[in-house]
Amino acid sequence: MSFVVISRTLGNQAKPAENPEKAQQEKLAELLEKGAVLPLEPFVVNLADSDAARYLRIKISLMLDNKSNLKEVSENQALQLKVRDVILDSLTSKTSQDLINAEGKMKLRHEIQQKVAVYFREPKLVDVMFTEFVIQL
């Protein structure tokens, strides 16, 4: 009997691990349906490289969980300026080597999301998307 219980327990534990990607896709689909995107004006910044002058041109869009307050958020100039200030601070602290690979871009995305999310109460920030990313080397 205990073998059957263990076997069933292990079998049930394996099933959720097989579908996390599908669950994540469904959650993303729901967010895309209910959420909204707040595109920001492009950023052109000098990078922190010490050996040469290098710059980054990046377009960032913020995905919000609810489109009902999008107009208020997009018209809130204080919020827009603070978000740009925080993002500029993050961007200008990076070197071209920090950002040249996919891992660096992912770290930057998470850093921006953590720093900017505190300014969004309703709607909440759920993702940071890069819609253009050019480094001048």
Between 5 and 128, the higher pLDDT residue = 128
| 35-136 belongs to CATH 3.40.50.720 | no
Q: Is the pLDDT of residue 5 over 50?
A: no
- pLDDT by residue (tens digit) across 46-75? 999 999 999 999 999 999 988 888 888 899
For residue 33, give both structure tokens.
Answer: 């349906």
Three-state DSSP at 27 gives helix
When pLDDT is averaged across residues 73-94 and rounded to a whole number, the result is 95
d(CA 86, CA 128): 13
Phi, psi of 133 (to 5 degrees): -150, 105
Exposure string of 115-130, with b = 16+ CB inside 10 Å and e = fewer, is ebeeebeebebbbbee
Q: Which amino acid is at 73?
A: V
Domain boundaries, the chain: 1-34, 35-136
